[in-house]
Amino acid sequence: MEIAPDDRLEVLQESADADVDVDAGWVWPAEPGRSWLGRYEFGGTLGSYKPHFRAAHAWDHVRGAAERELRVALDGFLSALIWWGPEVDTDAEHVDADLFPSGARLWRSGPLIARGPRTVARLNRYWHEAAPELPQPPQLPQLREPYARHAASPGGWIADFEDFTALLSGWAEAVGEAERRRWGLVGLPL
C-alpha cells in the first residue's frame, strides 16, 4: 500500500518476474527489498491462464452434481479467483476496488486477479468449507463420474479430475499462505 496506486501493477509485474524458475510452488525473492512478495507457480500451467480458465469451465459443467455445501463453497472460492460462470462479462469483479485506481486505467495483457487481505481471508474460509468434500483421489465419486462424463479433456489443459483438484489445491496453497502473512493476492500471467 506504500506504492502509489497508478504504479502498483508495474511494480508487481517487475517484482514477480524473478529469474528463478520452478515447476510448481513458491519462489521467494532473495533481495531484502522484496520481502513483501512471494510468487506461486502452478504446476503444469507454464505460466498460462488457460488451465485456470479450463478449470472454471469444467466446474461450470459439474457444479450441478455437487452437493449444496460444496457448490456454495467452491462457487465462492472460484468466483473471486477464476470462475467465469453465468456472468462472463464481469471480469472487473476479480479486482478489489481499493488495490488499483480503476480497471479501465490498468493496462495488462490477459486477466488480472487482485484481492486484498480481507478477501483472501474470506477465500480461505470458503476453501476450508470445500476441502473436506474434495479428498484426494480415488474418493469423491459424486464429482469424479460427472467430471469424466461432462468436463474431461484428455490431452488438454485440466485433462481429468486429478488435474482439476490439483489446480484448486494450488490456489488453496496460495490463498492460505497469503492469509497467514496477512497479504493480498495478485494473479498475473507471466
For the chain, give every domain's residue range: 5-187
Q: What is the mean pLDDT of residues 28-52?
A: 78
Q: Which residues of 53-75 are buried (b: 16+ CB within 10 A; e: fewer)?
A: bbbbbbbbebbebbeeebbebbb
| 25 sits in which H/E element | strand 25-27
pLDDT of residue 173: 94
Question: How many other CB atoms are there within 10 angstroms of residue 101's CB atom?
Answer: 15
In the predicted structure, residue 1 carries a pLDDT above the cut 80:
no
Q: For the residues 162-181, what does the mean pLDDT come to? A: 92
Mean pLDDT, the chain, whole residue set: 78
Task: Please report, rounded to a whole number, the percentage of residues in the chain having pLDDT higher than 70.
Answer: 73
Q: What is the pTM of this model?
A: 0.82
Strands 39-41 and 25-27: antiparallel
Residue 40 main-chain phi, psi, to 5 deg? -105, 125
**Which pLDDT tens digit goes with each residue over 68-105?**
988 999 999 988 888 665 555 554 457 777 776 655 55
The share of the chain scoring above pLDDT 90, in percent, equals 16
Q: How many CB atoms lie within 10 A of CB 164?
A: 23
Mean pLDDT of 168-184: 93
Residue-wise pLDDT tens digits, 136-165: 544 456 788 888 888 888 888 888 988 888
pLDDT of residue 17: 61
